Amino acid sequence: MDKSIPVFTCLLLPVKDSALLKNILPLVELISSSMAGELKKVDLLHVVGGSFLSTHLNNIDFRAGHVLSSDVMRRLRDKHYQEKVDPLLAKIQQLLQKSGVVLKAKVRVEDGDPVKKISAICESEGYTTLIMSRRKGEEEGVFFGTVLNGVIGRHIRAGFYIVGEEGFTGGISPVARIMIGIDGSSTCLRAVEEAGVLLARNTEAIEEVSLVNVMDPSCLQEKKGLDCQLMIENGYDAMLEAENILVRDGVEKSKIVATVLFGKPGEMLHKHAQACAATMCYVGRRNRSKLAEIVLGSVSSDFIHRCKDRTVVLVS
């Protein structure tokens, strides 16, 4: 994403079915109403993979020289569209017509590998915001092969909103109780800035903004406590900088709560998100390879795979 393009102006919404679209609609409606004059496009993307051929391919013996002709391939594809894709698109259009999205959303259908398509389109076409939803019970771990996990493993420069399994609670604004992980990094400050855009336009809906700094408890074992003191000071400075950004954006200082926790960052952030009933949780995300995340660990990856019942936002 071109950082000169304002956030929340170009939205990409990959949709697998209408149930997942329902989960993300409250957030899309909020962004749409908040950015009414600046929102440029809202595109829903449905990627048709090769799965529709699987039942037919299983019955073909390629060793015997059986090869599907282009005509047969076309008929299979057309049948899949008629039975699966077209009814889905009709349901999506009905949901969109009933929604409060200011800018008329467009639905596009692409063929190919869903993970590669979503990632490539998001990056190459300059989308500022990618919004996807978890399906309850679909993910069983970090390496479970879902499309969502595949996209999470890619370098997405757009703000990546991962809506929780249950979606948003009715009658409560997605910005009501925001939690932001604070570690003093540049990506963390960008997360504060991005959250501030929505908060500034919905100040009346804000109940609490929770700034959370998680520190390694091993510093407490130092004899002189100098390392721990330095970490505390750095954490305090980072949260003060974040608070100043939010106050500048119009958030009442009395609604900002700063908290220091000791422990494993991903685990402690998850526990705090539950304790403060967070509606959305922002964390900065460093751009590094999946191998590096496996070897070095990743706070954002650990957090999003723990926190399935909340909306998690990754900001690079």
What is the full per-residue pLDDT of the chain (316 aa) written as tens digits?
455 678 999 999 998 888 889 999 999 999 999 998 899 999 999 888 756 655 555 555 545 555 555 677 778 778 878 888 888 888 888 888 888 887 788 888 888 889 999 999 999 999 999 999 998 876 554 444 588 988 988 888 899 999 999 999 999 999 999 999 999 899 999 999 999 999 999 999 999 999 999 987 776 665 555 577 788 888 899 999 999 999 999 999 999 999 999 899 999 999 999 999 999 999 998 764 443 343 334 788 889 889 999 999 999 8
End-to-end CA distance of the chain: 10
Judge: domain 1-165, CATH 3.40.50.620: yes
Distance of alpha carbon 122 from alpha carbon 310, whole angstroms: 23
Give me the residue spans of the domains in the chain: 1-165, 169-316
Give me the helices (H) in the chain, please.
18-34, 54-57, 70-80, 86-98, 114-124, 147-152, 186-200, 226-248, 265-275, 290-296, 299-306
| Residue 117 CB partners (closer than 8 Å, separation 6+) | 45, 47, 110
Cα 286 to chain centroid, rounded: 15
Domain 169-316 class in CATH: alpha beta
> Sheet containing 256-262: which strands, arranged edge to edge?
106-111, 41-48, 10-14, 129-133, 159-163, 311-315, 280-284, 177-181, 208-215, 256-262
Distance of alpha carbon 196 from alpha carbon 65, whole angstroms: 61
Distance of alpha carbon 169 from alpha carbon 164, whole angstroms: 11
Distance of alpha carbon 311 from alpha carbon 165, whole angstroms: 8
- Best CA proximity match to 168, nearest among 28, 19, 26, 32: 26
Q: Which residue has the tokens 């679909």?
A: 138
- Best CA proximity match to 130, nearest among 89, 107, 101, 163: 163
